[in-house]
Chains A and B, each alone.
Chain A
Amino acid sequence: MKRIVPIVALVVLAAVGAAAWQWYFSDERAIRSRLGGLADTLSMPANTTDIARVTRLAGLRKYFADDVHVRFGGQEVTSRDSLLALVSGWAPPPGGVTVEFVDVQVTVDPDGASAHAYLTAKVTGRDARTGEPTIDAREANVAMARRDGDWVLSSAESEDTLQKP
């Protein structure tokens, strides 16, 4: 009995190690990490200067494919340049905003070159008048493609949770 315990412990340890290894180098983890990076870039700390904002937003380029297709709240954008032009005109509130992608569900296609993510985009800010926290959230379907070894967004579409007539 005493001899079995270390063997079982070793097997369990090896299984946990293998699972951790597989997870660490998986496409799913890479995609989640990429989406996390995008959310961080979109977040703006309080009182961000114009130069800091433009610098941050310039970093968005690496997250999108050239021919990215984005549909959000009735607006449609069909290239990365148009998207960046649109975003650069955005003035965040003085209190800043925090963007998070939560409840992310990733499915990697069998070819390993494309993937889909279904998530909730959550934007937390502060009301300029009352100082109260504000939350806006939208569901989104995101398609991703592997380009030059990195995962980039090839399309993104927001979805209404409650269907208005």
Chain B
Amino acid sequence: MLRAVVGSHPRAALLRSAALVAAAVVIFGFVLKPVRLEGISMLPTYKNGDFDFANRLAYLWHEPARGDVVAIRMAGPSVLYVKRIVGLPHETVEIVAGVVLIDSEPLVEPAVVLKAPWTMPAVTLGDREYFVIGDNRSMAMRNHDFGRASRDRIIGKMVF
């Protein structure tokens, strides 16, 4: 039975297993953070209970871009917000009747199909600030967590 598990070269099998475990620890601990989504704030892009990974190396060589769905940490990486970037540093973001305006220009958001007529006064983002909102904007604005997020809180880009 044991031979069937480890094969005829137990040392090689052990090394392969150790390498596999080490690779899994590195990949899922430092590169692809597994994320299970709770709630409806990213509908229809993500449903409640969907599973995805946050790529922690996505912003190693370039900064987050508009339209990216990103994972934002709270005190640490155990609980994350998953939101879409709509505003970039130094831009002015405003919402008028459900339409997001960037520097007074309407933003085209193909992923956002559920909209209520939210209205939010203009806000100019700081040096390392991004404006993030969920895709589901059908609820009252006060019931949706969104707003400015500092760059150091963005831990990665969602993969799928």
- The answer to whether B81 touches A161, judged by C-beta atoms less than 8 angstroms apart, is yes
Asked if A22 is an interface residue, CB under 8 A from chain B, the answer is no
- Interface contacts (Cβ under 8 Å), in number, total 63
Contact of A162 among B72, B120, B121 (CB under 8 A): B72
Per-residue contact bits, chain B 51-88, to A (CB 8 Å; 1 contact, 0 not): 00000000000000000000011111111010100000
- The answer to whether B75 touches A105, judged by C-beta atoms less than 8 angstroms apart, is yes
Asked if B110 is an interface residue, CB under 8 A from chain A, the answer is no
- The answer to whether A165 touches B78, judged by C-beta atoms less than 8 angstroms apart, is no
Given known A105-B76, A163-B148, contact A134–B81 (CB-CB < 8 A): no
Asked if B123 is an interface residue, CB under 8 A from chain A, the answer is yes
Measured CB to CB, the closest approach of chain B to A131, in angstroms, equals 12
Contact of A122 among B79, B81, B147, B149 (CB under 8 A): B79
Asked if A6 is an interface residue, CB under 8 A from chain B, the answer is no
Contact of B145 among A103, A104, A162 (CB under 8 A): A162
**Chain B interface: which size bin?**
20 to 34
- The answer to whether A103 touches B79, judged by C-beta atoms less than 8 angstroms apart, is yes
The main secondary structure of chain A at its interface with chain B is strand
- The answer to whether B146 touches A139, judged by C-beta atoms less than 8 angstroms apart, is no
- The answer to whether B76 touches A120, judged by C-beta atoms less than 8 angstroms apart, is yes
Count of interface residues, chain A, beta-carbon cutoff 8 Å:
22
Asked if B109 is an interface residue, CB under 8 A from chain A, the answer is no
Cα A120 to Cα B81 with chains together (Å): 12
Inter-chain contacts of B123 with A (CB < 8 A): 165
Asked if B127 is an interface residue, CB under 8 A from chain A, the answer is no
- The answer to whether B146 touches A102, judged by C-beta atoms less than 8 angstroms apart, is no
Inter-chain contacts of A118 with B (CB < 8 A): 75
Inter-chain contacts of A110 with B (CB < 8 A): none
Cα A89 to Cα B108 with chains together (Å): 46
Inter-chain contacts of A137 with B (CB < 8 A): 74, 79
Asked if A129 is an interface residue, CB under 8 A from chain B, the answer is no
Cα A164 to Cα B146 with chains together (Å): 6
- The answer to whether A120 touches B38, judged by C-beta atoms less than 8 angstroms apart, is no
- The answer to whether A139 touches B75, judged by C-beta atoms less than 8 angstroms apart, is yes
Contact of A160 among B76, B83, B120, B147 (CB under 8 A): B147
Per-residue contact bits, chain A 149-162, to B (CB 8 Å; 1 contact, 0 not): 00000000000111
Per-residue contact bits, chain A 88-109, to B (CB 8 Å; 1 contact, 0 not): 0000000000000011110000
5 tightest Cβ-Cβ pairs between the two chains A and B: A103-B76, A162-B147, A164-B147, A120-B75, A165-B123
